[in-house]
Amino acid sequence: MDNFEPKIVAFCCNWCSYAGADLAGTSRMQYPPAIRIIRVMCSGRVSPFLVLKALSVGADGVLVLGCHPGDCHYIEGNYKTMRRIPLLKKVLKQFGIEEERVRLEWVSASEGAKFAEVANSFTQSIKNLGPSTLDNLKQSSKGAKHG
């Protein structure tokens, strides 16, 4: 679809990928305006629940970006992410959601170019997939964590 403007949620960890995104900015590297970054302290903060919620309220794609393995500021957070997200992708398939709508990438604080490249390529791949077909399930975010 030519006029499909995806909206992509990107969870970025404060120490690496958020800084990498900043570096892309200071270097004036351009990428599509589809990305909306949400800052967390560590990619390990990103539970599958948050990713699913994002998809369920209408995100066309979700990026989870963390430090390279071995470089996590909190030592092991990204190892948890390394396990959670691939597992989640497998589960998504079973729900009939294309697993390509969720991507995990490692972006360090000095990899501005990589951030821009990931933003570009992910936006393109989401455009190819088309808009998310999930109904807009407006659940209250309070309480029902696993409803």
Partner 1 sequence: MEEPRIGVFVCHCGRNIGAYVDVPGVVEYVKGLPNVVHAERNLYTCSEEGISAIKKGIQEHNLNRVIVASCTPRTHEPLFRSACEAVGLNKYLFEFVNIRDQCSWVHMHEPEKATEKAKDLIRMGVAKARLLEPLEEIEIKVTPSALVIGGGVVGMGAALNLAAQGFEVHVVEKEPELGGTLRSVYKLYPTNEEATKVTNPLIEKVKNDPKIKTYLSAKVKEVSGFIGNFDVVVNQDGEESKFNVGTIIVAIGADKLKPTGQYGYGEMPNVLTQLELEERMKKGEPVGQNVVMINCVGARVPERTYCSRICCMTAIKNASLIKESNPKAKVWILHRDLMTYGVDFENYYRKAMELGVRFIRYSLERPPQVIGDGKAEEIKAYHELRREEIELPCDMLVLTTPLIPAEDNQDISKMLKVSLDEFGFFLEAHLKLRPVEFAMDGIYICGSAKWPTDVTEGISQAYAAASKAAGPLRMGYVKPEAINALVNEDKCSGCGICELLCPFQAIELQPRDGKRVSHVNEAVCKGCGTCGAACPSGAIAMHYFTDEQILAQVEALFS
Partner 2 sequence: MAEKETTVITEAEKILDRENIIAKAEEVLDQGYDGIIGLRKRWGHVSPYLFTTKDELKELELEPRYNLATFVRQLKNKWPDARLGIVSRGCDERALDKLEELGVFSKEGVVFIGITCSMEQAEECNCEKPIYTPLDCTGCWKCMEECPKDAITRINVCPILVPDQFNLGLGQRKAIYLPFPQAVPKKNVRDPNHCLRITEKLECKGCENACEAKAIVHDMADQIVDLDVGAIIVATGLDFYDVSGLEEYGYGKIKNVVTAMEYERLTSASGPTLGSLDRPSDGKVPHNIAFIQCVGSRDFRCEPYCSSVCCMHATKEAMMAYEHEPGTKSTVFYMDMRAVGKRFQEYIARAKSDYNVTYIRSRPGRIEVNPENDNPIIWYEDTTTGEIKKFEAEIVVLAQAMIPQITKDLAEILGIELDENGFVKTPGGFLQPLDTTKPGIFACGYVHSPRDIPDSVTQASGAAGRAAEEIASLHSQGGK
Q: For the chain, how are helix, strand and coil distributed in percent, rounded to 5?
A: 40, 15, 40
- CB-CB neighbours of 13 under 10 Å: 30
CB of 140: closest distance to partner 1 in angstroms?
9
Does 22 bind partner 1 (CB under 8 A)? Our answer is yes
Closer residue to partner 1 in complex, CB, 22/100: 22
From the list 1, 2, 3, 26, which residue makes contact with partner 1 (rule: CB under 8 A)?
Answer: 26
Cα–Cα distances (Å) from 35 to 76, 96, 105, 144, in that order, read: 26, 23, 14, 27
CB of 31: closest distance to partner 2 in angstroms?
12
Closer residue to partner 2 in complex, CB, 110/139: 110
By a kind-dependent CB cut-off of 5 to 8 A, residue 146 interacts, out of partner 1, partner 2, none, with partner 1
For helices 77-95 and 48-56, what crossing angle results, to 10°?
40
Closest to 88 in 3D by CA, of 51, 44, 132, 38: 51
From the list 6, 16, 17, 42, which residue makes contact with partner 1 (rule: CB under 8 A)?
Answer: 42
CB of 30: closest distance to partner 2 in angstroms?
9
Helix residue spans in 1-111 (DSSP H):
17-26, 48-56, 77-95
The dihedral through the CA atoms of 117, 122, 125, 131 has a sign that is negative
Give residues 113-132 in contact with partner 2 (rule: CB under 8 A): 113
Which stretches of the chain bind partner 1, using CB under 8 A? 5, 7, 9, 18-19, 21-22, 24-26, 28-31, 33, 35-42, 44-47, 49-50, 53-54, 57-59, 73-77, 80, 84, 116, 136, 138, 141-142, 145-146
